[in-house]
Structure formats: C-alpha cells, structure tokens
C-alpha cells in the first residue's frame, strides 16, 4: 500500500502581499493529492524580480496573519534570514540534505512560474531534489515557449499522484486546481487606487496593510 501521507511540500514566493490566489489553490491541492502540511517560505531578495514593496518583516507578519487559522501551513523563515539571494535550487538542496535521500519532497508553484522556470538559477538541479507540483493560474498557457523546455517538461511529466508519494523527486505534476484570478500586483494597484480588496485576501492581512500604510500612493506621485 502506498503511504499517501509521506509527501512533504514547500511553497515559495514573494508574498507581497499574500492573497487568496496563493492560499486557496494550495488548500484544494492538499485535498486533491493528500498533503498533510505545506511549508510556506517567503523569499528575501528574489534574484529575477523587482524588489518587494513591503519589508521582509512585513511580508512575514502578513503571512503569519494569513495562516493563523490554517494548520495546513507552516512558515519557514530560512530564506528571509539569508543575506544573499534566495535561489530555490540551493534551498531545495539544503532541504534534501536535511530530510535524507528517500523522503518524497515537492515544490509547489503556479502555472506562470512553470513557464519561466527554465530561467531560474540551476533549474535542472531542482528536480534532482524535489518534484514540481503546479497549480493552475488563469491567463497562462500550459505549454512551454521553447521546444527544448517542452521536451524537459514532457520528460518529467506524470499524471499519477502516487509517483509524488513513492518517488523522492523528479516528477512534474499539473494539478487540476481551480482558477483564482488574483495577483499581488493587482492588489497593490487596487490599493493605490483605493479600490476594495475584500474578496482578494484575508481580512487580517488587509487590516495590517491599512494599519501600516502599505502599498499606498507615494507622496510625490
């Protein structure tokens, strides 16, 4: 019998701020594929993106508020504590070393991240240490732009959930999670325009944003 509780999953991102497009697909994913725990890991200096607007402390505080009533999620601050850029490849290598060679490990990403995954630092090594579990996101194709990257995807693709629980790493699984048309960019833009974000992120996170005056129009605009 396959032990469907053995897979451990890590979910990285900037979370500037955390929103329902992060939380809801992963909660549904956990039910779909049998995840007991998701380690949520905010990054510090994302190498391939503009710098976050909120500080590391603020992004962490918002995450803590967002997951306070959700035991599925556990916060991991290792990338925030690092002074250097957060390379997923390095983090997953460390995680693998900690958990041993046979533990099934999964890294959760959205569909948009899969499309630009080949631009990530040492992306090929990531599948040596973990599986990739992909949540759907509206507005992004399911095929890779370049043929060689499509071949890479096809080589690793599985539609068998058991693979994620029995193999330690190496598979890409496209989960049939529902679409949530929400992004942190959209939320920052709406907040600048004083538009409601009630449906887009948890109320305690929105309260925190207002209390700390985050994502407001800068004075010289």
Where on the chain is the footprint of ligand ATP (CB under 6 A)?
13-16, 21-22, 25, 109-110, 112-113, 135, 137, 180, 182-185
Question: What is the Cα–Cα distance from 60 to 76, expressed in whole angstroms?
Answer: 10
**Helix then strand then coil, % of the chain, to nearest 5:** 40, 15, 45
Question: What is the Cα–Cα distance from 167 to 178, expressed in whole angstroms?
Answer: 26
Phi, psi of 56, rounded to the nearest 5 degrees:
-60, -45
CB-based closest residue to ligand ATP: 110
Least distance in angstroms from the C-beta of 3 to ligand ATP: 27
Q: Which is nearer to ligand ATP, 2 or 142 (CB)?
A: 142
Q: Which is nearer to ligand ATP, 119 or 185 (CB)?
A: 185
Least distance in angstroms from the C-beta of 100 to ligand ATP: 26
Tokens of residue 124, six digits: 């090929």
Q: Which is nearer to ligand ATP, 25 or 202 (CB)?
A: 25
Q: Which is nearer to ligand ATP, 104 or 110 (CB)?
A: 110
The CA-based angle 104-110-116, given to 5 degrees, is: 100
Edge-to-edge strands of the sheet including 105-110? 73-75, 38-42, 8-13, 105-110, 131-135, 172-174, 157-158
Least distance in angstroms from the C-beta of 131 to ligand ATP: 14
**Looking at residue 50, what DSSP letter applies?**
P
Least distance in angstroms from the C-beta of 17 to ligand ATP: 9
Location of structure tokens 């599985």 = 158
- Which one, of 161, 122, 136, lies nearest residue 26 by Cα? 136
Q: Which is nearer to ligand ATP, 50 or 100 (CB)?
A: 50
Least distance in angstroms from the C-beta of 50 to ligand ATP: 9
Q: Which is nearer to ligand ATP, 62 or 164 (CB)?
A: 62
Question: What is the Cα–Cα distance from 12 to 76, expressed in whole angstroms?
Answer: 9
Least distance in angstroms from the C-beta of 2 to ligand ATP: 27
């Amino acid at each position: 019998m396959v032990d469907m509780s053995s897979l451990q999953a890590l979910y990285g991102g900037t979370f500037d701020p955390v929103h329902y497009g992060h939380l809801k697909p992963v909660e549904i994913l956990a039910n779909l594929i049998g995840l007991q725990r998701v380690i949520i890991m905010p990054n510090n200096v994302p190498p391939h993106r503009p710098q976050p607007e909120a500080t590391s402390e603020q992004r962490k505080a918002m995450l803590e508020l967002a997951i306070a009533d959700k035991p599925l999620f556990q916060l991991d601050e290792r990338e925030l504590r690092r002074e250097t850029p957060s390379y997923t490849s390095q983090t997953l290598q460390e995680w693998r070393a900690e958990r041993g060679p046979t533990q099934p490990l999964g890294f959760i990403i959205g569909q948009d991240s899969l499309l630009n995954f080949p631009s990530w630092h040492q992306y090929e090594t990531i599948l040596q240490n973990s599986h990739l579990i992909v949540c759907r996101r509206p507005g992004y194709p399911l095929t890779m732009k370049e043929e060689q990257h499509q071949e890479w995807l096809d080589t690793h693709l599985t539609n068998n959930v058991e693979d994620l629980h029995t193999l330690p790493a190496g598979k890409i699984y496209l989960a049939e999670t529902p679409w949530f048309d929400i992004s942190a960019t959209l939320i920052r833009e709406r907040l600048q325009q004083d538009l409601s974000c009630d449906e887009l992120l948890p109320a305690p996170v929105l309260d925190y944003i207002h209390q700390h005056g985050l994502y407001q129009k800068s004075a010289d605009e």
